[in-house]
């Protein structure tokens, strides 16, 4: 069966510090991978998605970036965090050409 991991679970970082969130998927090959941000109790904002190694599409201009160095690894980064980067970050995967997405447990990021 497939599983998806995210870490860390929670993170408190000062403004201006760098960020690296990691997501890995097990039990499947060549998944589509997604990074979302969610405001408290609200819907999901798609940040980045990837259909393959090194292939990243950005949905929202911001100071975040994403990379996919391996087939089942997806990384969300920032060089300098802003207060507005605080939120709940979710990684998801789907099979190629599938509607259904499966989510990781999320990372709660607080920028102070």
Which spans of this chain sit near other proteins (rule: CB under 8 A)? Answer: 32, 41-46, 49, 90, 92, 94, 97-106, 108
Residue closer to other proteins by CB (options 18, 105) is 105
Token code pair at residue 99: 């509607």
Residue closer to other proteins by CB (options 11, 44) is 44
Residue 24, phi then psi, degrees to nearest 5: -135, 145
Residue closer to other proteins by CB (options 79, 94) is 94
Please tell me whether the peptide bond between 8 and the residue prior to it is cis, using omega within 30 degrees of 0: yes
Min dist CB 105 to other proteins, Å, is 5
SS (HEC) of 40-71: CCCCEEEEEEEEECCEEEECCCCCEEEEEEEC
Min dist CB 80 to other proteins, Å, is 27
Tokens 């969300």 belong to residue: 76
Strands in 3-7's sheet, in edge-to-edge order, are 3-7, 19-26, 73-78, 64-70
Min dist CB 79 to other proteins, Å, is 26
Min dist CB 68 to other proteins, Å, is 17
Residue closer to other proteins by CB (options 41, 61) is 41
């Amino acid at each position: 069966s497939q599983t998806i991991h995210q870490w860390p679970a929670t993170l408190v970082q000062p403004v201006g510090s760098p960020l690296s969130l990691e997501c890995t998927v097990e039990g499947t090959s060549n998944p589509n991978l997604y990074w979302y941000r969610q405001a408290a109790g609200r819907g999901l904002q798609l940040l980045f998605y990837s259909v393959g190694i090194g292939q990243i599409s950005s949905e929202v201009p911001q100071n975040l970036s994403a990379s996919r160095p391996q087939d089942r690894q997806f990384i969300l980064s920032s060089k300098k965090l802003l207060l507005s980067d605080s939120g709940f970050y979710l990684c998801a995967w789907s099979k190629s050409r599938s509607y259904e997405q499966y989510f990781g447990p999320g990372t709660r990021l607080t920028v102070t």
